[in-house]
Amino acid sequence: MKLGLFIALAVAVLWGALAIAQLWWAPLDAPTFLKVSVTAAILEGLVVVVTLAVREYLSDRRLKRDGFIDG
């Protein structure tokens, strides 16, 4: 689960740095920056959802193994 956290954090930090650079120096034109922003948002959402799903699956598997819930 730490991998998902690191990936999500990296995407957020990189997009934040790009947003600040775009605000001050405009290295990208507006449509390209919009595309990068939408892509970063979708990627961030996917990473969070997949990380939560894997965590839930592993938690259920551990609880079944330990006999706390029926399999």
In a domain? residue 18: yes
In a domain? residue 36: yes
In a domain? residue 29: yes
pLDDT tens-digit profile of 9-67? 999 999 999 999 999 999 999 999 999 999 999 999 999 999 999 999 999 999 999 99
In a domain? residue 71: no
What is the band of 1 on the pLDDT scale with cuts at 50, 70, 90? Answer: confident
The domain containing residue 54 runs over which residues? 2-65
47/3 Cα distance (integer angstroms): 10
Instruction: Identify which of 55, 59, 17 has the alpha carbon closest to the alpha carbon of residue 36.
Output: 17
* Domains identified in the chain, total number: 1
> What is the predicted pLDDT for the residue at 68?
92
Contact indicator for 8, 61 with CB cutoff of 8 Å: no
In a domain? residue 70: no
Model pTM? Answer: 0.88
Residue 71 pLDDT more than 80?
no
